[in-house]
Amino acid sequence: MERTDQKKPCFHGTAGGWSDLPSPLIELIAYRLPLDDLIDFSETCSHWRNVVVRLQGGFQRRISLPWLMIANPTRPNSPGFFSLRRQSFYEFPLREVRRKRCLSSRGWIMTIGGNGNVRLFNPLSRGRARVKLSALKPDGYVNVDIGKFALSACPLSSAESDIMVLGDIDRRLALWNYQDRAWTMVSPHRIYMDLIYHKGRFLAVDATGTIRAFPVKLDGPNPATDGRVVAWRPPGLVKLEHLKKHYLVECWGSLLVLSQEWRQGFVTSGFQAFLLDLEASTWTKINSLGDRSLFLGLNSSFSMEVSDRHGGIEPDCIYFTDDCTYNGTGGKDMGIYHMADGRIDPLLFDAMPHRPDSTPLWIEPNAG
């Protein structure tokens, strides 16, 4: 992975020099570095790079910051990652994502090819962790473009990882069951905006703000279940004419519902946040996230606690990317929304132009 905004480190190995350090010592140093420093560290010499590559599968458990996968601003077919800590772009050779639609959940990336084939892989495993799924072809329909997905568990840690996906255009739901190795369409007559796996079940929110729960295993004669309503639309929610999107996010162990408002040009103007008590089916509007921040987009939405060690991330903010791929904005509508005063700051520096054919994608830390 190559950083493009500054020169590579300039160490030269000689006898008894940097390149001759023993592997155990290099490992000890490497495990104490943030990921972006680790990239520069691995470029010191071939010996150091080989040690880092050998250990790379273990690094995914200690990455503490979200990374933003974006297209290379100068080479569109070479995707990479943007570091919020350094405000820098890094090239990363991921052949799996080229010319494919990409989504993410729990640190895993889903790719959908032009033939409808669906794959899952972990970007930090260097290709060692992959899952192949069949194309999503419901009865009576051609391939359905997937707009979002949620994992019930990480495929590396569980052989029983179910997947629910949300259609990009038709906004319908489908469930992949690990036992049946097949897709099942669920709630086919409703239009949904977001989904999440929360406390043992999948939840989805529709355009009105109503939330339904879906069991992981769809038994019985009618698998096309309509789900069970767990919360109706609350009073005071954004009116539909001003609504861009609803999001579901787990925060403080509870469920948050975010309503994204828009202004002329389909550009985000603000957010409403509600804390939902699923047992009592009650909504409480909140005006602060405290020391937490949220990350929204084509990923399964997630939150993280922000501390001094998370350089580049501010607390009490919503980091959002453009996930409305059907309206042609393609990454243009993204930013950092501050809950305290409602201002929206740019997410990327001016030298990183957006590409309509490649929407930025959050990769969740410590999830894979």
Calculate the average pLDDT of the chain: 77
More confidently predicted of 132 and 289: 289
On whether both 54 and 75 belong to a single domain, the answer is: no
Neighbour-count burial for 62-101, b at 16+ CB within 10 Å, e otherwise? ebebbbbbbbbeeeeeebbbbbbbbebbbbbebebbeeeb
On whether both 148 and 43 belong to a single domain, the answer is: no
On whether both 229 and 120 belong to a single domain, the answer is: yes
Instruction: Report CA-CA distances (Å) from 332 to 49, 354, 357, 363.
Output: 36, 6, 11, 19
Whole-model pTM: value is: 0.81
Answer with the one of 5, 34, 59 that is the final residue of a domain. Answer: 59
On whether both 317 and 348 belong to a single domain, the answer is: yes
Q: What are the tokens at 317?
A: 């903010």
Q: Is the pLDDT of residue 153 over 80?
A: yes
On whether both 162 and 49 belong to a single domain, the answer is: no
On whether both 244 and 205 belong to a single domain, the answer is: yes
More confidently predicted of 10 and 18: 18
| Confidence label for 339 from pLDDT (cuts 50, 70 and 90) | very high
More confidently predicted of 239 and 284: 284
The residue assigned the tokens 């990921």 is 35
On whether both 203 and 322 belong to a single domain, the answer is: yes
Which range has the top average pLDDT, 57-66, 179-188, 196-205? 196-205
On whether both 305 and 257 belong to a single domain, the answer is: yes
Query: Worst-scoring range by mean pLDDT, 109-113, 217-221, 276-280?
Result: 217-221
More confidently predicted of 61 and 294: 294
Please count the other Cβ atoms lying within 10 Å of the Cβ belonging to residue 143: 16
In a domain, 308, yes or no: yes
Count structural domains, the chain. 2
Query: Worst-scoring range by mean pLDDT, 37-41, 117-121, 279-283, 327-331?
Result: 327-331
Beta-strand ranges (E) seen in 243-326 are: 243-251, 254-263, 267-277, 282-286, 292-296, 302-305, 317-320
Mind listing the pLDDT tens digit for each residue in 25-49?
777 777 667 666 766 676 677 777 7
Check residue 353 and give its pLDDT: 53
More confidently predicted of 239 and 157: 239
In a domain, 264, yes or no: yes
| Confidence label for 222 from pLDDT (cuts 50, 70 and 90) | very low
Q: What does DSSP say about strands 317-320 and 292-296: parallel, antiparallel, or unpaired? A: parallel
Mind listing the pLDDT tens digit for each residue in 67-81?
888 877 677 666 778
Check residue 12 and give its pLDDT: 38
On whether both 44 and 80 belong to a single domain, the answer is: no
Residue 343: which residues within 8 A CB-CB, separation 6 or more?
A: 337
More confidently predicted of 67 and 326: 67
Check residue 181 and give its pLDDT: 76
The answer to whether the beta carbons of residues 261 and 271 sit under 8 Å apart is yes
On whether both 74 and 204 belong to a single domain, the answer is: yes
On whether both 302 and 359 belong to a single domain, the answer is: yes
| Confidence label for 165 from pLDDT (cuts 50, 70 and 90) | confident
In a domain, 7, yes or no: no
Check residue 69 and give its pLDDT: 86
Mind listing the pLDDT tens digit for each residue in 105-121?
988 889 888 777 888 88
Which range has the top average pLDDT, 87-101, 231-245, 283-297? 283-297
Q: Is the pLDDT of residue 210 over 80?
A: yes
Check residue 132 and give its pLDDT: 78
The answer to whether the beta carbons of residues 194 and 227 sit under 8 Å apart is no
More confidently predicted of 202 and 9: 202
Domain that holds residue 45: 20-59
On whether both 217 and 150 belong to a single domain, the answer is: yes
